[in-house]
Amino acid sequence: MVDVVTTTALELSSLPSNETDVAKSFSLLHVIWVYVLPAVILTGIVGNVLSIIVLLSKSFRHTTTGVYLPLTAIADVVFLLTGALEILEVAGVFDAREYSVWTCRIYKVVHYTAGDVSIWLLVAFTFDRFETISSLSN
């Protein structure tokens, strides 16, 4: 038993130390999470809100496009907002999941449901468009 522990300790101590590489990768990940992703989320939210405004206009109101795509944009905004909570956690500002058990549960349900709803609305929209085009060709 002592030989295994000693051998493992010797093997680990003989590994080259790449602390600078680890620090650089952590620093890069931190920059991406704290600076780049908020810009992506903000751009996504602004784009989706503009899409909602356009798709709820009078010309789209009575089409299937005016039904599916605004709902998809709303689901995407909710997904992006709940994703922003992850950034707040990585930045060390706020961790909604550790606030209480219920906030963790609600966060997970809302985050995953919004993502799934967005995907399934696009599937339904695609099927609706396929059906419409198929019925026009007959």
Does 20 have pLDDT greater than 70?
Answer: no
Model pLDDT for residues 84-103, shown as the tens digit of each residue: 888 888 777 777 778 888 88
Q: Which residue has the higher pLDDT, 137 or 78?
A: 78
* Ramachandran sector of residue 40 (left: φ over 0; alpha: ψ -120 to 50; beta: rest): alpha
pLDDT score, position 26:
67
pTM of the model: 0.74
Q: What is the mean pLDDT of residues 19-32?
A: 69
- Residue whose structure tokens are 């899409």: 51
Alpha-carbon gap, residue 128 to 120, rounded angstroms: 12
Spell out the domain ranges in the chain: 31-137
Report CA torsion sign: 122, 104, 86, 46: positive
